[in-house]
Amino acid sequence: MDLIEPAVRTFLGIFFLMIGLQFSARTLGLYARMGFSHIHYGARGKATWWHRHIFNVFRAAILLVCLARIFVDLDGWLGVFAWLYHGPVLLAGAVLLLASFTAVNYLQAYMHEDWRSGIAPTEDKARLLTQGPYSRSRNPLFLAVMTGQLGFFLVHRALPGNAAFIFRKK
């Protein structure tokens, strides 16, 4: 366990950094090739615009906290579930994160130039995919992201640092 916890802590910071770099590279590459942004914020001041900006703030906060946790023990401020603090739970969370990352990349590559983030304007000419993974589920990308969120919960909330006393049964 002494090896698993710091390894998973470092993995989590690097993992979220790599997601940010991969997402940025994908959107910049598509913009360079196609000549338009595949990220849609919606009309300024509307609910979708606010949602996207709030999402970006939370995404940046998650990245910063995960990177900071590599060097600084912040767990006392974040809260943990000590009953989840076991090597197999940490490793299962890391495996779910990697499986999610793989699935998201596959599904976005499958969509290729039809991939969008946000609600595309009605004049956008993206096709509705109904074959491959999209023949079995309307939202396989969301299922992959939810798998990653479960993995993130298992990895992040199970890391106790010096705060293992939180939620511990007496």
39-90 confidence digits (pLDDT tens): 888 889 999 899 989 999 999 999 999 999 899 888 778 777 777 878 899 8
Q: Is the pTM of this model over 0.85?
A: no
Calpha distance 134→73 (Å, rounded): 42
pLDDT of res. 1: 57
CA distances from 6 to 11, 49, 64, 68 (A): 8, 38, 17, 13
